[in-house]
Structure 1
């Protein structure tokens, strides 16, 4: 969707950078971005898969792709279509670039939050939108359905042409995404990097994919729903304050949920295990 893909693209770039975090940590800082093989493959994914998928959806379903704002392609200015196509690529490049910079400075957990906040922005818009009807706009195949929306029509969306197109695209985009991220994470776990030590054992590829899905559709989507409910209940001002507090609660404590996902994704030892290892070396 036009409103969310700018966040999704950024999250994809950040996710690819995190998957190659250990490799990026040991790469020469003077290395040009285009000389980095992980960035090059990220760029290929964005330009050849993700970007075109967005344009297909905009062309075939302009009302759904614009969250029911436009009725047909002629309602959209040319510059918006061009900007949509370009930012689907450039935002992912930016996400990778900024996360690589953080990783090379030893701030990998901050880079992880770029991934979290990008997906939060995407999912909050889908859940809440700008007027509290984001989920209704998403679960409406076209503007006519949205105008008379109810949960029965939402169930029909699951077999609508929009949904069937998304399923087909997912069969192409997701296997490549998961394959590359799992391969990069596993390759990185074989490296010895002081700032990103590896715990004993190696998780299976399915375990890594499950962690990614639980992170996005559990922690992040759940947070988007909770904060949307707060905005509905208390208004935008108090809801935003609650949202910031909620995200800080998840991310700041050493044993917070966000740090748990961070350690699981990168297969990092817990602080206690790491401390015991340091004492043993001493």
Structure 2
């Protein structure tokens, strides 16, 4: 449901976001597989990976292929003017790139989550969405948003004369926008429901109470801002820098700023990430709540055993004949 140039990038971001949202469940699944050693429960049979691929294959891929057939000019960001300029294999490429992109994003983020580097898994989602938004906002020649908001080649050619307001209004009243709106409701709505649902599911597992530092509603808002808002703001800023300084200088300055914002151990983004309750330990390390429960159970067993040992001599003394 988005242009073919941005579809694999979006799919990568979706896959990474799904893996981070289900990070706690992925760790439990890994413990289960390694602990039981049952071949039928292999890591390839992970239900969260299967659901991610099923989502990519059933919603983003076919809706994008439909829009490519309905409006090939818009689906290629006007690199092609009509059906004659689109090779039939592009439809196959679109569907395959969405599924493969989601797979790669999920596996990359999952790898970081399992080894206790969940923040770097989150950065996979940030990278995917940043490249998506930068492609749609700036593109390869600075006309990305004009291409995105032009329903046909004529509207794109007339954009400089019509202006931003008229261009946006013309696109908002087009059949392409209506199709994007309908498909977007299903695709994005299902995506958000899955991500929020997996986050909530993970917060119910042992150890989540210690990791979740804020109420769940606030945690969902922070997660959404970190996955979608931050990359959008970054793509907008990068586009402005490229326009002002040129490609090399603009990207260099942006990379420096992004590194300062994202990478330090005490960066604000890391601090906000730590509030959401995504596990930051290796999958081999049991959740803290489980360890505490085992310690309490052991202490209780020792106390019961001690009480029984103390009571036994008293019983014997009372039963001893005078």
TM-score, normalized by length of structure 1? 0.87
Q: CA RMSD in A?
A: 2.4
* CA deviation string 1:74-99 (max 9, x = no partner): 21223333212111111101111111
Q: 1:27 is matched with which residue: 26, 29, 32?
A: 29
Q: 1:208, CA displacement in angstroms?
A: 5.2
Counterpart for residue 99 of structure 1: 109
Q: Aligned residues, how many? A: 268
Contact 1:21–1:100 (CA<8 Å) still a contact in 2? Answer: yes
Contact 1:128–1:228 (CA<8 Å) still a contact in 2? Answer: yes
Q: 1:19, CA displacement in angstroms?
A: 0.7
Q: 2:237 is matched with which residue: 226, 245, 251?
A: 226
Tell me if 1:178 matches 2:176: no
Contact 1:199–1:268 (CA<8 Å) still a contact in 2? Answer: no
CA–CA distance in structure 2, aligned partners of residues 169 and 38 of structure 1: 23
Counterpart for residue 145 of structure 2: 135
- Could you tell me which runs of 5 or more consecutive residues in structure 2 were left unpaired when the two chains were aligned: 35-40, 281-287, 293-322
Q: 1:236 is matched with which residue: 247, 253, 268?
A: 247
Match runs of 1:1-282 below 5 Å? 1-28=3-30, 32-149=42-159, 150-151=163-164, 152-193=166-207, 197-200=210-213, 202-204=215-217, 207=218, 210-266=221-277
Contact 2:223–2:276 (CA<8 Å) still a contact in 1? Answer: yes
* CA deviation string 1:230-254 (max 9, x = no partner): 1111111111111211211220234
Decide which structure has the larger Cα Rg and report it: 2
- Could you tell me which runs of 5 or more consecutive residues in structure 1 were left unpaired when the two chains were aligned: 270-276
Contact 1:2–1:65 (CA<8 Å) still a contact in 2? Answer: yes
Runs of 4+ aligned residues of structure 1 deviating over 6 Å after TM superposition are none
TM-score, normalized by length of structure 2? 0.77
CA–CA distance in structure 1, aligned partners of residues 210 and 8 of structure 2: 33
Contact 1:139–1:157 (CA<8 Å) still a contact in 2? Answer: yes
Mark the CA change 1:223 to 1:35 in structure 2 (over 3 Å): closer, same or farther: same
